[in-house]
Amino acid sequence: MNYAIREITEALDQQMELSFFMASKLIELSPPSEHKRLKKELHTRLSVLRERTLKATYALDILTSDRKPVRTTLFSALKKWFSGG
């Protein structure tokens, strides 16, 4: 069961990273006049998704009882994206 939970946690992290990558590309491909509005809209949607993903990851971590913190790569990807990198 612990293996399955870790696999799910990894999948959630990868989905989150993919979502941020896709959002970044969408902004790049949009007309310059839409960048600010689109980034704000996507930021709102991705913030909700991030919150749900982190809650799910935390719940899965508790189920495995190893109390590991949420992966730092997810946080660094989020920080990079929000800072415009």
What does the pLDDT read at residue 6? Answer: 78
Q: What is the pLDDT of residues 29-82, one digit of tens each?
A: 999 999 999 999 999 999 998 888 888 877 877 777 655 555 556 656 655 665
| pTM of the predicted model as reported, rounded to 2 decimal places | 0.61
- If we measure between CA atoms, which residue out of 7, 80, 8 comes closest to residue 46? 80
What does the pLDDT read at residue 40? Answer: 94
Q: How far apart are CA 62 and CA 57, in angstroms?
A: 9
Segment among 1-10, 11-20, 23-32 with least mean pLDDT: 1-10
Q: Hey, where are the domains in the chain?
A: 2-82
In Å, how far are 29, 47, 63 from 71, measured between CA atoms? Answer: 30, 17, 16
From the number of C-beta atoms within 10 Å of its C-beta (0-12, 13-18, 19+), residue 70 rates as: middle
CB atoms under 10 Å from CB of 1, counted, come to 7
- Residue of 6 and 19 predicted with greater confidence: 19
